[in-house]
C-alpha cells in the first residue's frame, strides 16, 4: 500500500549536536503530524502542518512541510538527553489512500544520545 | 484529567483463547483508532471509528474485531489470537474525524504463546 518513508531509522548523536529526520510521501498530503514516543511510553502529539512550505518552531524544534506537500522534516538544534525517543511523522492523504480519515505513519526515527 | 485508558496493560495468553482489550476516553472525542506497533514497522492502524456505530478497517484488520456502541468506548477483540498478533497495541482518539491531534492510551503489551 501507500507509504510515508521516514529516514533515518536511527540516529546517534553526541549531546549538543543537531538531529534531523525526514519524511517523504509519493503522493500529496493534506497535512502531516509529528509525534514523539519516549522509551516505554506512548506517542505524544508535537505539531500538525497544513500549508505548503509551512515552517513552525517549538523552542529547539523546527518543523517544515515541503512546497509540494510531499515531504516534511523535523530538526532539533543542540540535542539534550530529554530529546531521546522515537519521532514519527503521520501523513493524511488528500485523496486516494483508503479512507479520507486514515493517517499513514512513517516507521519512525530513533534518536540516541551517545554517552 | 483528560485521558485515554486501556486495559489490561500487559497480557500473556495462548493461541485461540478469545480476548478483549478495552479502550475508553473521557474527552467526548468522535474519532477513535487502534494501532499495533512492531519493531521497525512503526504504527499500523488496525481499525478506526468515526463515531458511534461507525467503524472501518485500517491497514491490518485481519484477525481483529471492534465495536463502538458508546462514544467513549472502543474495545478491540481478538476472537482467536495467534502468535503473529504478539505486539504492542495502542488506542487513540481525536476530537474530530477530519483530523487533528491524536491522544494515545498507555499501550497494551500482548504476548500470544
Residue B111: predicted pLDDT: 98
Q: Which residues on chain A are in Cβ contact (under 8 Å) with B95?
A: none
Give the residue from A107, A91, A22 showing the smallest Cα distance to B39.
A107
Task: Give the total residue count for chain A.
Answer: 115
Tens-digit pLDDT profile for residues A56-108: 999 999 999 999 999 999 999 999 999 999 999 999 876 544 455 568 899 99
3-state secondary structure of A97: coil
Interface of B with A (CB under 8 A): 31, 35, 40-45, 48, 50, 56, 58-59, 90, 92, 97-107
Q: Which helix (H) or strand (E) holds A14?
A: strand A10-14
Q: Which residue has cell 483463547?
A: B17
Average pLDDT score over residue span B82-97 = 93
Tens-digit pLDDT profile for residues B45-79: 999 998 899 999 988 999 999 999 999 999 999 99
**Pick from A31, A42, A88: CB nearest B42:** A88
Q: Which residues on chain B are in Cβ contact (under 8 Å) with A32?
A: none
Cα angle B87, B93, B95; round to 5: 165
Residue A77: predicted pLDDT: 98
- Substitution target from A23, A36, A38, A43 for chain B, most B beta carbons within 10 A: A43
Residue A103: predicted pLDDT: 81
Amino acid at each position: 500500500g501507500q507509504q510515508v518513508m521516514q529516514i533515518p531509522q536511527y540516529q546517534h548523536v553526541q549531546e549538543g549536536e543537531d538531529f534531523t529526520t525526514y519524511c517523504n510521501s509519493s503522493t500529496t498530503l493534506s497535512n502531516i503530524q509529528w509525534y514523539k514516543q519516549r522509551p516505554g511510553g506512548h506517542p505524544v502529539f508535537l505539531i500538525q502542518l497544513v500549508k505548503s512550505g509551512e515552517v513552525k518552531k517549538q523552542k529547539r524544534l523546527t518543523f517544515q512541510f515541503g512546497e509540494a506537500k510531499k515531504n516534511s522534516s523535523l530538526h532539533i538544534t543542540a540535542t539534550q538527553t530529554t530529546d531521546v525517543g522515537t519521532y514519527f511523522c503521520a501523513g493524511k492523504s488528500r485523496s486516494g489512500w483508503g479512507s479520507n480519515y486514515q493517517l499513514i505513519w512513517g516507521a519512525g526515527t530513533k534518536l540516541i544520545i551517545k554517552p | 484529567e483528560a485521558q485515554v485508558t486501556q486495559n489490561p496493560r500487559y497480557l500473556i495468553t495462548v493461541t485461540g483463547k478469545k480476548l478483549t482489550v478495552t479502550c475508553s476516553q473521557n474527552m467526548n472525542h468522535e474519532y477513535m483508532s487502534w494501532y499495533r506497533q512492531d519493531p521497525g514497522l512503526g504504527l499500523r492502524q488496525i481499525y478506526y471509528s468515526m463515531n458511534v456505530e461507525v467503524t472501518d478497517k485500517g491497514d491490518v484488520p485481519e484477525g481483529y474485531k471492534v465495536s463502538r456502541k458508546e462514544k467513549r468506548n472502543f474495545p478491540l477483540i481478538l476472537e482467536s489470537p495467534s502468535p503473529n498478533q504478539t505486539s504492542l497495541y495502542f488506542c487513540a482518539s481525536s476530537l474530530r474525524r477530519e483530523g487533528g491531534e491524536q491522544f494515545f492510551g498507555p499501550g497494551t503489551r500482548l504476548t500470544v504463546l
